[in-house]
Structure 1
Amino acid sequence: MTTSQSPVLRTYASFGKHQPHSSSPLKSVSEFRAFAAPATQPPSALQIVGHFARQPLLLPRQLARLISSTQERSEPERKMHKSSASRELTLNSPVQHRRGFSSDVNLASSEMLLGKSTISDDHLIVRNNSRTSRKKRAKSSKRLAGLFAVVTLCCCGTVLVVMRPTAQMQWIDEQWSKLTDEPIEPTFELYDSDETGAAAYSPRKDGRILLVPGEPHPIPALMRRAQRRYDHLIARQSTTFAHAVAEYKRRYQIEPPRGFDLWYAFARENNVALIDEYDMIDEDLKIFRAFSPESFRRRAAAVPSLHRAAWPVEVRNGEVSAPSYAHKERADNVVLMMSRFARYLPDMTLWYNWDDHPLINIPWEERARLEKHITAGLYDDDAGEGLAAIAPKMRHPQYGFAQTCPPNTTAARPGFQWGRGSRNNTGLEHLPMPDGASGTLIDSWHRTMDTCNNPDARHYHGGTAWVYPAIPNQIVPLLTGGVNSHFGDIHAVFLAKLKDEPELAWENRTDERLLFRGQTSGTTWDQDVPWINTQRSRLHIQANNLEGNRTLMIADEDDLLANVTLANKAINPAFFDVGMIGPPVQVKDDVTRAEMDKVYGGYKSRMTDKDAENYKYVIDVDGNTWSGRFGKLMRSPAAVIKATIYPEFFSVSCIPWLHYIPAQIDYTDLWDILAFFRGTPEGRGSHDELARQIALAGQKWERRHLRWQDAESYQFRLALEYARLWSDDRPSMTDVDLSIEPHIDM
């Protein structure tokens, strides 16, 4: 049984395979046709106008082209429309217009205005008038008195597009000239079609690019593409409040939450560079739209009973606080972060996870079921008392992480067994090399982090090497610091305030080895866990291995890939200064402790910042989950190599191959990365200048995107979205003049 949502949260259903909450715009006629299929009949012009009116950055020229192309195969449906009753489609987001584009689409008027809509005067109606009754027309004409703009689209009868004159229209006129036909999120090709290397390159599902001898080394191309992506990301950000509201509606298909104007003012006054890039919040909270406000609050109240390590952050009467039993360092961090905007929040409670790792393990069937409710605008029925009322209604027969994987992924294939890795491993194991390749690099960071499509990598990271009982978790709002793909925890923001300290410039750093010092975190160290194969353990073992040989992929004088085989005793001392810090932590028994002492051959001491500043390369490796020292590493003028499975709130702006160097969690690419940038042990094939560019770009990124104010802005917006789920009326931002840039009292 389901119950209806409030009108504020109701999503606007479309047709075909479209997902109403998708943040990806349709970019072409072919993509639109694929989107409309497999409907029994192709979409009419009315449907096209109705759908794309909710995508405010689609231009009239593109809209006309879509209508024209689609109508070429829509004759049966056009006849159906002529004989059908009048249809109305209610839209819910402002779109742009411009004057004088009648040559692009057959219009009776020289002006087309599309805007916000319902049946009331201050909203928009799109109507197929082929057979509208006179009585209904008369009623409509009274309702629409004082409105204007009637246009004719010949391909689908008469369509009325009406809009009340508002301040938004003035903004539209001003903004139109700034828009282009460029897609919102274009595909950035690695190579131009005629560029050397294009023929051999093909994107892979696992996110890796193959290294084949004789082909161009891909790192320069990866760096150029990363720069284009970042430039586009910055250029596409909203520059006005009205534009930010329109972009919010385009991405999420709902109105912004109450207080969005205050958040926007907060972000602007704190010089936040990215105004629109908060998809992670929507992805984290979207599933909770399937529950009523009462159910959401009941689920939040159940968190401490289900997860004893949880601690609350409470907002009461505009003040934020955490109890004495909370994780002091993190609680102080969150309270301080929220203190500047807590006065604008309603009373509510946020629960944080004391543990580092995620806990909300949602079977894919349950997630799919709830997403159907959201699409239909319905609430899940969880009436009742106690924890039984919020128990998952669907269960998955798999164990471990595979519960969360959709059926079309590798981990969900029939017969796949998650299982633990062997305790007989040596720490030198790695993923098998694809056929025809002598090495691989990361091409798509997001695809390599998707454990469902890369399950063979699970044994190489403590965060995915576990086996969990096949008992789904209750879906509750729990904020966690490290959340890997497909888990249901909400990404928490923990960010330390850093001080500006003098750093040795790149040119003055003389040590070209890769530096790592870290504790024995990342797993539980006992006889039941294959700890030797987890991320920190393997890095120590492989970097200090002096036995056998290794084949490096280097760049020759023409930057073509070439093989060179050298002894590990020649490579590793020249490439690495890697060591575990003692004494070991998280060790459960003396037998394991003795084994660790034997495997690691002793522990190293901590390094001071002064000692570390002479290194050109540093690596950031996950601990129990996310790494808390990434910001500090990025602040230095060293090139940061990062191997992780955890996206964070800043990941959208931190572009691999531009701001840092991405590495796979099995480290198969680490030697080839260093061979390209610092060269072979004797310096052959080095690209020091490219490494310096990444180091400086990363340092600049940290100062622009990872400031305390950026974390505050993310937390403020997260709190507003959380407050909407918490409140009975699910409040949206209303009665705000979009033509006026908002202000906030700090």
Structure 2
Amino acid sequence: MTSLAALFPWLITRLFHHRGIIGHQPFRGIGSLYFFDTLSSGIFGGALIISTALMICDSSPLEPTAIATFVTGILASVQNVLWVETYEQTSASQPLVVLCLVSAGFTIFIYANNMRTIVFVKRVVLLLLLVSLIAASTTYGLLKQKTITRHPVDDLVYKSRIEADRWLRHATVSTTLKLAVAEYKDRHHGRDPPQHFDKWFEFARQRKSVVIDRFDQIEKDVFPFWGMKQQKIRDGLEFLKSQPDIGIIEIAGGKATHNEPSDPSQKMILDDTVSMINTFAEHLPSMSIAINLEERPRVLVPWDDVHRYRMAGSKPGFQLLSGRLHRREILESADAVKLNPKAVDLPYVSAQKFRQLQALACPPGSPSRGGVHWDVRGFCSSCTLPHSKEQFLQDWEMSLDPCHQPDIFNLHDFHTTPHRFELYQDLLPLFSRSKTASFNDILLPLMRPDASLEDDGKALGIKSETVFWQGDSNVEALTHQSLHGSHRHRLVHLGNNASAGDEVPVLLGIGSGKDSRFRYEHTRIRDANSVMPFQFSLTRSAENCDDANCQLLQQEFGFEPPSRALDNRYIMLLDTADGPPPDLVRTLRSNSVPLLSTIFQEWYTERLMPWVHFIPIDFRFHGLHSTMAYFIGLKGRGSLNGREQLTEGRLEDAFWIAEQGRKWADKAMRREDMETYLFRQLLEWGRVIQDDRDELGFVLKD
């Protein structure tokens, strides 16, 4: 009864909550898992309330309160002991002292209140357990290795080199058309390649593409549409044709044209895309494609809906009739999700509603699905653990997924500023330049008219050793939350405006040469900055600064005149509020070392390897000082924590990353590679939208 009593108010709240989301249908995102979770949570909560009430009746309200305080204190202390000598807990003394104080306080409490049993555990047994726990924790804290013999970044660079070589081998398996067809079928569960695959293969060979077999991003983007009926895809396209800031490219008779938008910058993008398509349009079926001409992605579908489409599309339907019949049943179930494309009917979606919609795009049970991380002052170690090795970003692909890191909604401009463009919650065939992992836009290689860096050919060795970032203050899009949580503001604050008491764990060297070791030490940020060549600043594009937010930024950070980024050896690349850094490709080609911090994906994202083509930086910046200390070195730069630092920099690794990034950009991220990617993508898309798509395919003649 208690669980049912908890279930009904929750459902009412949930339905009201969904109605508060613009354009969102009430029951979307609510499935059997939600009912199960709510029922089980109600049972657990009811049992807890009843048990606590019975305990209070037999004793007093102090006892359950003391027990709860004791349990949480013990768990937190033990966790901190396990973290000893990591960047989160650099000393064993603090958690051990807390553990002893919590144990002593609870012992005094149970004797003062004459508690002979604590939740069916005898007092003497509990005391013995506490003594054993303190002894084990003390032994563990004292015996745990105090220093690290091999720097984690050294290990990451080495393993990433191996992984990059492995990725390239898998991407270039096919040297003949026969091998390419076999490889395609192996990667796509027996499905034949699309029609004119031989023409694409020859096209790729002519353009000397180093990537022949790995186009995972295309498969991820297109795959859900295999579970949607073709007519619904066409209906979605017709809807998009009536929407603002959508470019339409028509391909017919071996030629591509577009709908001539009035905005010159938008027309430039479509002109360039049409120019690329016309190099291979004769091999494409007639089709229309809708292109998002805004920077922000716009198709944000609840996970439940996308999952149904993927399940429908994953059923075998290409060879066996029984398979086709079963697939049709699943497909009809997926299409029961009513396609009623609806755009936001207000000028923008508030940041709060935007975060709610993004949470629904995560699978049930994921941390972000449960809500926004509430502790905005504390560091969320559980959010970084899946994709990090200590302080350093290890799994870049996983780091782009927001579903395991709910704190992201408070720490990035994309999430803390309103979404000012139309946002669609049905699966629509919209192509975009970039997106986050939550969105369902189809990534398309588009030109970047806003990229500003020019390669001056200056060698890395003669460039300034500065770690440089400069970005526009973007005062027009500021909100109260973005002022305090913006990733760009946090970087400038970290480098220029840290408070006197702010500290950061830094992996510092002990000794030098072959005897050098490393240990995490809490260091005042101001002291750490004094030995780092950071140069972070904001510029202002607006003519005046009358707005209160602008004045606050000016007072806190100041505004600097624009500087040349390429004069510096290390260049930080941060996202804007709407999309990824526009200058990544040019920075890769510039002989500077890119430090990339992003949550966005582009068509070439799967081709870039962290620690090989760029240095990855988590947007929380908690490992920035330790990362740069590895490459730049601290020897001769002054003292930290009362001693001179003797660690020499690994400049050769920085030079190697800069060289690898430059070579790879000139080899796999050229305009010819954009054309090859686009050709392959439109062949796949052209088949998906055909009524007889299950029968279409390229079959190699013997």
Whether the TM-score (by the shorter chain) exceeds 0.5 is yes
Please give the alpha-carbon distance, in whole angstroms, between the structure 1 residues aligned to 2:292 and 2:401. 23
Structure 2 CA distance for aligned equivalents of residues 621 and 329 of structure 1: 25
Q: How much does 1:676 deviate?
A: 0.8
- Partner residue, 1:372: 311
| SS in structure 2 at match of 1:350 | strand
Structure (1/2) with the larger helix percentage: 2
Alpha-carbon RMSD: 3.5
Residue from 310, 313, 323 that aligns with 2:259? 323
Tell me whether 1:301 sits opposite 2:238 in the alignment: yes
Aligned partner letter, 1:400: L
Q: Closer, same or farther in 2 for the Cα pair 1:330/1:597, shift >3 Å?
A: same
- Please name the residue that 2:569 is paired with: 616
Query: For 1:643, which of 597, 605, 630 is the aligned residue?
Result: 597
2:683 corresponding residue in structure 1: 720
Q: CA deviation at 1:580?
A: 1.4
- Verify the 8 A CA contact 1:545 1:572 in the aligned structure 2: no
Matched, 1:268 2:205: yes
Q: Aligned pair in 2 of structure 1 residues 486, 389: CA closer, same or farther (>3 Å)?
A: closer
Query: Aligned pair 1:222/2:156, yes or no?
Result: yes
CA distance in 1, matches of 2:156, 2:682: 36
CA 1:588–1:465 in 2, change beyond 3 Å: closer, same or farther?
Answer: farther
Provide the residue aligned with 1:151 in structure 2. Answer: none
> Corresponding residue for 1:461?
412
Q: Which residue in 1 is equivalent to 2:491? A: 539
Alignment of 1:400 onto 2:400 = no
Q: Alpha-carbon deviation of 1:383?
A: 8.6
TM-score of the superposition, structure 1-length normalised? Answer: 0.62
1:626–1:559 Cα change, 3 Å: farther
Report the Cα distance in structure 2 between the residues aligned to 1:540 and 1:283, rounded to whole angstroms: 36
Aligned to 1:444: 395
Aligned residue for 1:334? 273
Give the one of 450, 475, 481 matched to 2:433.
481
Answer whether contact 2:498 2:526 (CA < 8 A) is retained.
yes
Change (3 A) 1:438 1:420: closer
The answer to whether the 8 A contact 1:363-1:472 is kept is no
Matching of residues 61-100 of structure 1 within 5 Å: none
Instruction: Choose the corresponding residue for 1:701, options 657, 664, 667.
Output: 664
What's the offset of the Cα at 1:655?
0.8
Q: Is residue 685 of structure 2 the alignment partner of residue 734 of structure 1?
A: no
- Provide closer, same or farther for how the CA distance between residues 678 and 477 of structure 1 changes in structure 2, counting only shifts above 3 A: same
3-state DSSP of counterpart to 2:415: coil
CA offset at residue 320 of structure 1?
1.6
CA distance in 2, matches of 1:591, 1:444: 40
Determine the C-alpha separation between the residues in 1 that align with 2:545 and 2:360. Answer: 28
State the one-letter code of the partner of 1:533: G
Q: Matches of 1:571 and 1:705 in 2, distance apart? A: 38
For the residues of structure 1 that align with 2:391 and 2:222, how far apart are their CA atoms?
Answer: 35
Tell me the CA shift for residue 568 of structure 1.
4.0
Against the structure 1 CA distance between its residues 314 and 245, is the aligned structure 2 distance closer, same or farther, given a 3 Å change threshold? same
Cα shift at 1:625: 1.1
Helix, strand or coil: the match of 1:256?
coil
Structure 1 residues 528 and 310 mapped into 2: Cα distance closer, same or farther (>3 Å)? Answer: farther
Confirm whether residue 251 of structure 1 aligns to residue 187 of structure 2.
yes
Deviation of 1:468 after TM superposition, in Å, equals 8.2
**2:550 pairs with 1:593:** yes
Conserved? CA contact 2:505–2:521, under 8 Å: yes
Task: Write the distance in 2 (CA, Å) between the matches of 1:331 and 1:529.
Answer: 35
**TM-fit CA distance, 1:361:** 1.4
Would you say 1:582 and 2:540 are equivalent positions? yes
- Give the Å deviation of 1:430: 5.0
Amino acid at match of 1:366: D
Q: What does 1:147-162 correspond to in 2, within 5 Å? A: none
> In 2 relative to 1, CA 660–329 (structure 1 residues): closer, same or farther, beyond 3 Å?
same
CA displacement, residues 159-182 of structure 1 (integer Å, 9 cap, x when unaligned): xxxxxxxxxxxxxxxxxxxxxxxx
What amino acid is aligned across from residue 280 of structure 1 in structure 2?
Answer: Q
Matches within 5 A, 1:553-702: 553-556=507-510, 557=512, 558=515, 560-563=517-520, 567-572=524-529, 574-584=532-542, 590-601=547-558, 603-608=559-564, 612-623=565-576, 624-680=578-634, 681-682=637-638, 684-685=646-647, 686-702=649-665
Deviation at 1:677, TM superposition (A): 0.6
**Maintained 8 Å contact 1:266/1:713:** yes
Q: 1:222 to 1:269 in 2, by over 3 A?
A: same
The reply to whether residue 363 of structure 1 matches residue 299 of structure 2 is: no
1:408 deviation in Å?
Answer: 3.2
Q: Quick one: which amino acid aligns to residue 339 of structure 1?
A: N
1:290 maps onto 2:290 in alignment: no
What's the CA shift for 1:387? Answer: 6.1
From 328, 340, 353, give the equivalent of 2:292: 353
The whole-number CA distance in structure 2 between the counterparts of 1:279 and 1:649 is: 10
**How far apart in 2 are the matches of 1:456 and 1:589?**
32
1:126-182 Cα shifts (integer Å, max 9, x gaps): xxxxxxxxxxxxxxxxxxxxxxxxxxxxxxxxxxxxxxxxxxxxxxxxxxxxxxxxx
Deviation at 1:488, TM superposition (A): 1.0
- In structure 2, relative to structure 1, the CA distance for the partners of 1:390 and 1:615 (3 Å cut) is closer
The CA distance in 2 between the partners of 1:584 and 1:619, in whole Å, is 23
Displaced runs of 4+ in structure 1, greater than 6 A? 381-384, 419-422, 497-500
Aligned-pair distance for 1:341?
1.0
- Find the residue that maps to 2:163 and give its secondary structure: helix
Q: Is the 8 A contact 1:546 1:572 kept in 2?
A: no
Q: 1:580 to 1:212 in 2, by over 3 A?
A: farther
- Which runs of 5 or more residues in structure 2 are unaligned? 1-84, 87-144, 316-325, 344-352, 639-644
Equivalent position SS for 1:377: helix
Distance 1:315 1:581 in 2: 42
TM-score (norm 2): 0.66
SS in 2 for 1:583: coil
Deviation at 1:539, TM superposition (A): 1.5
Seq. identity, % = 22
Give 1:667 deviation, angstroms. Answer: 0.8
Amino acid at match of 1:224: Y
Report the number of matched residues: 507
CA distance in 2, matches of 1:545, 1:716: 49
Change (3 A) 1:588 1:410: farther
Q: CA deviation at 1:316?
A: 2.6
User: What is the rounded CA distance, in whole Å, between the counterparts of 1:420 and 1:528 in structure 2?
Assistant: 17
2:562 and 2:399 map into 1 onto residues whose CA distance is: 31
Q: Structure 1 pair 694/233, CA: closer, same or farther in 2 (3 Å)?
A: same
Q: Distance in 1 between matches of 2:147 and 2:169?
A: 37
- Of residues 481, 490, 504, the one that matches 2:458 is 504
**Letter of the 1:737 counterpart:** K
Could you tell me how far apart the structure 1 residues matched to 2:200 and 2:441 are?
23
Query: Following the alignment from structure 2 to structure 1, what is the Cα–Cα distance between the partners of residues 333 and 520?
Result: 61
Q: Is the CA contact (8 Å cut-off) linking 1:483 and 1:491 kept in structure 2? A: yes
Greater CA drift, 542-551 or 486-495: 542-551
Distance 1:647 1:343 in 2: 30
